Structure 1
Amino acid sequence: MTASERHVLGLSGGRDSAALAVYMRHYHPEIDIEYFFTDTGKELPEVYEFLGRLEGVLGKPIQRLNPDRDFDFWLKQYNSFLPSAQTRWCTRQLKLRPFEVWIKPMLAEGTKVYSYVAIRSDEEYREGYTSKHENLVVRLPFKEAGIDKAGVLELLDSSGLGLPKYYNWRTRSGCTFCFFQQKIEWVRLREQHPDAFEEAKRYEKTALNGGSPFTWSQGESLDELERPERVEQIKKDHAERVRRSKAKVSVNPLRPDDEPLDIDDLYGQAKACLACHK
């Protein structure tokens, strides 16, 4: 690496980006990679715990890029309208903007910045990481090496890192009130982190009172979603999805414990924000 090059790898607190960090450390130790995490201030506590363990595996710190304005500031700027799949201002302002501010001086001084992104070989390359600057080069090591979901799980297992603890109840990282959550994830958030669920309800009520057309969960408010009879129905529907999905899956003799079922496996691939969920 020359003085005019820098190598960066963004971590979301999720499985794939953590596995990529492990992969690069093991297979490309000659590259001095700077690891960073953009903290929205609304992350799951399990994410911070996972990042701490990942620092131990990598043997170097993960730089925190805190946005200069927090979620509450931007919510006011958007007239209390909640972010949604149609208007993803949270990703733009709290994830992408701090990264762009961080690398802007590097690019301006002529430094070539290589950004490593955890798109697996079994995923389509999606928009969102296309370079908009001639000195910013996007690299997809998993694509190049043919590493798929099973390979990611093997990397995490062999490193001793394992999966984030939130995988016990939710299979994607991101803010506690991420609008990409499925109904069952909202139910489990209420069970696992009731304070975070109540905070999401307060944001939603403020937004609806201000004229926002969006609720966090499509088609119903969190007040409606948490009614006992609705919770029971959501759990029943989810259990049936799991049953049907497992009936279709062939047992992998190399992983007798089976690969964990992702939410996207059960409900279809969501076009989630890669900066938050990879």
Structure 2
Amino acid sequence: MAERHVLGISGGKDSAALAVHMRQAHPELNIEYFFTDTGEELPEVYEFLGRLEGYLGKPIERLNPRRDFDFWLREYNHFLPSPQTRWCTRKLKLTPFEQWVKPMMASGDKVTSYVAIRADEDYREGYSSKQDGLSVSLPFRTAGIDKAGVMDILESSGVGYPKYYEWRSRSGCTFCFFQQKIEWVRLKERHPDKFEEAKALEKDALEHGSPFTWSSGESLSELEQPERVAQIVADFEKRRERARAVIPINPLRPVRSCPEDIDDVYGEDEGNGSCVICHK
């Protein structure tokens, strides 16, 4: 029997900061870092993983699903995943993790999984283990580390932020349905090939009767029309100005050095949300 310590890296700022924090606060723990690769990640995610590995001084193990996104799309009758039916999270993130830790527990090991739920996220719940021998730890809550604390950890360590934060607020799949409409616009600008791939998947799904599109209320073909793009950009700029006006000034951090978190400026027709295991 052995004690194993595992920490999932999503490619986002919170899980990266947790990895840095655990290395600094608990150097005695031999933590095994893992990243569940759906095969549909942004290029910037892979670059950030390499940078983080350099700081940690050890590899981040890649867990690959036995079946890819296209396979599960067919299994679900070509229906796209959605906030109501998150089969992508279950099949491409949770199942590979459970398959990875299963041999550990079968051999009698006790496994602790560290999850990056911050102290200011009382509304969030982490992965709930239903398996004997697997427990979940939330170090940020224990240490009282909030969003500002996460920013401090990444800045002071020199790891910094993933480059996609220049234009997007989330890690995870390229075509995550939790994206805002402005993020779809920016995906088309930054990675037009990825946008076209998402559009083709959506077209196939709609032809098979899927009730969902990637973006609520409209297809990507509709969203990419020039007049619609102009409206999306204008609406976002108005919301951003309103959000900036109510942000309290912190004398200890007068200039916000973190790339702007556009999660703060969701529109009324864009429900804020995320899958913890994908986006933390």
TM-score range (shorter-chain normalised) is over 0.9
Amino acid at match of 1:119: I
Q: In the alignment, which residue of structure 1 is the partner of 2:252?
A: 254
| Cα distance, 1:252 vs structure 2 | 1.6
Deviation at 1:126, TM superposition (A): 2.8
Structure 2 CA distance for partners of 1:46 and 1:39, relative to 1, 3 Å: same
Is the 8 Å Cα contact of residues 264 and 270 (structure 1) preserved in structure 2? yes
SS in 1 for 2:46: helix
1:4 correspondence with 2:6? no
| Partner secondary structure for residue 202 of structure 1 | helix
Give the aligned partner of residue 213 of structure 2. Answer: 215
- 2: distance between equivalents of 1:41 and 1:239? 32
* Stretch moving more, 41-50 or 126-135: 126-135
- Per-residue deviation, 1:217: 0.2
SS at match of 1:270: coil
Give, in whole Å, the separation in 1 of the partners of 2:272 and 2:228.
23
Give the CA deviation at 1:260. Answer: 4.3
2:41 corresponds to which letter in structure 1? E
Return the alpha-carbon distance in structure 2 between the equivalents of residues 217 and 125 of structure 1. 24
Question: Which secondary structure does the structure 1 equivalent of 2:169 belong to?
Answer: coil
Superposed displacement of residue 271, structure 1? 2.9
**Matched residues, number:** 276
Counterparts of 1:171-190 in structure 2 under 5 Å? 171-190=169-188
Aligned equivalents of 1:252 and 1:41: distance in 2? 40
* Partner in structure 1 of residue 277 of structure 2: 275
Q: 1:125 to 1:242 in 2, by over 3 A?
A: closer
Q: Is structure 2 residue 115 aligned with structure 1 residue 117?
A: yes
- Asked whether the 8 Å contact 1:25–1:58 carries over to 2, the reply is yes
Q: Percent identity?
A: 71
Amino acid paired to 2:236: H
Which stretch shows the higher mean deviation, 246-255 or 10-19?
Answer: 246-255
- Superposed CA RMSD: 1.2
Gaps of 5+ in 1: none
> 1:105 and 2:103 equivalent?
yes
**2:15 maps to which of 11, 14, 17:** 17
The Cα of 1:257 is off from its aligned counterpart by 1.8
Aligned-pair distance for 1:128?
4.7
Does the 8 A contact of 2:117 with 2:125 survive in 1?
no
Secondary structure in 2 matching 1:49: helix
Contact 1:119 1:125 in 2 (8 A): no
The CA deviation string for residues 167-222 of structure 1, in whole angstroms up to 9 with x for no partner, is 00001101110000000000000000000000000000000000100000000000
In the TM superposition, residue 149 of structure 1 has moved relative to its aligned partner by 0.4
Q: Please list, as runs of the form range in 1=range in 2, the aligned pairs for 1:1-278 lying within 5 A after superposition.
A: 4-124=2-122, 126-258=124-256, 259-267=258-266, 270-278=272-280
Q: Aligned AA for 1:264?
A: D
